[in-house]
Amino acid sequence: MGIVLGANEYGKAENRLVRIHRDTARHEIRDVTVSTALRGDFSAAHLVGDQSRVLPTDTQKNTCYAFAKSKGLGEIEDYALTLARHFLDTVEPVTGARIEVAEFGWDRVEVGGSGHDHTWVRRGSEVRTTVVTVDGDGARVQSGLRDLVLLKSTGSEFAGFLVDEYTTLAPTHDRIMSTSLVAGWRYGDASVRGAGIAWDTTWADVRRILLERFATVHSLALQQTLWEMGRAALQAHPEIAEISLSAPNRHHFPVDLEPFGLANENEVFYAADRPYGLIEATVTRD
């Protein structure tokens, strides 16, 4: 039984890139982190150190920066598709390319009641993401977000659960529910081929739906909330094939104030770091 090379890929991770569009006095900004990964037959590089089929990761980095100028950097999905197709089409050994982009939001600084032309303040920790894979089977686009921190101070229960000999948790009909949401939705293959997707507006609308459902669903469990969030996104957007949600349950424990003669009616909480529940679900179409 021989020893052989299995799956492998390589690329340049976390290229930090800021693109300023300054054709007029009112500048626009796109702030992204781009990672590339190439697949193909790179066995010679592994087995005998022959690099003749290996495009350096430094070159991949250069390409990210050059394309931000020559092709522009608008919607991150378009930018990633262009990069991925370039590597697939022009680099002979490459049979598949995956481009990941994380975008950081900026708001214009308010000066005298209106947004300044060329000064911004970072919007927050939330990050918009896309992962684009292009290979012989076509293009796959999964867009989403991460680090979207949500909290509701009521409208969440957890009761009627399975009990075994290691269960000490008391059921509750009113608790804080909080998460740092990671969401990724995959666009249908036909939609991507058709290239008719309005990436920015779709992204904003899915985000709006996720937030609204998180707020308005009376939650019997985080699982139920995730399902309702995902279902609503799919109902509103036929161009989306499926959505995956990963939600850490950021526990907020009511502090026992009885020793101090105080009643704590869900008013004072200890926000714990670890451990945390982790609930993950995909909502799809059959």
Phi, psi of 41 (to 5 degrees): -90, 95
Query: Least distance in Å: CB of 104 to a second copy?
Result: 9
Q: Token pair of 38, please?
A: 């190439």
Task: Please say which residue, 22 or 193, places its beta carbon nearer to a second copy.
Answer: 22
Query: Least distance in Å: CB of 132 to a second copy?
Result: 17
Phi, psi of 187 (to 5 degrees): -80, 145
Report the residue from 41, 49, 83, 236 that binds a second copy according to the rule CB under 8 A.
49
Residue 145 to residue 245: CA distance in whole angstroms: 10
Q: Token pair of 218, please?
A: 């009376």
Residues in the chain, overall count: 286
In angstroms, what CA-CA distances link 207 with 150, 181, 216, 236? 12, 11, 14, 12
Task: Please say which residue, 163 or 198, places its beta carbon nearer to a second copy.
Answer: 163
Report the residue from 102, 131, 214, 237 that binds a second copy according to the rule CB under 8 A.
214
Task: Please say which residue, 162 or 195, places its beta carbon nearer to a second copy.
Answer: 162
Q: Does residue number 190 form part of the binding site for a second copy (CB under 8 A)? A: no
Q: Does residue number 186 form part of the binding site for a second copy (CB under 8 A)? A: no
Residue 233 to residue 284: CA distance in whole angstroms: 10
Residue 206 to residue 122: CA distance in whole angstroms: 22
Residues 105-164 that bind a second copy (CB under 8 A): 106, 109-112, 116, 118-126, 148-155, 158-164
Task: Please say which residue, 192 or 222, places its beta carbon nearer to a second copy.
Answer: 222
Report the residue from 114, 167, 195, 196 that binds a second copy according to the rule CB under 8 A.
167
Q: Does residue number 278 form part of the binding site for a second copy (CB under 8 A)? A: yes
Task: Please say which residue, 5 or 198, places its beta carbon nearer to a second copy.
Answer: 5
DSSP 230-254: HHHHHHH-TTEEEEEEEEEE--EEE
* Residues belonging to the active site: 12, 57, 251
Q: Does residue number 83 form part of the binding site for a second copy (CB under 8 A)? A: no
Q: Token pair of 43, please?
A: 């066995």
According to DSSP, residue 159 is labeled -
Residues 1-20 that bind a second copy (CB under 8 A): 1-20
Report the residue from 137, 165, 195, 196 that binds a second copy according to the rule CB under 8 A.
165
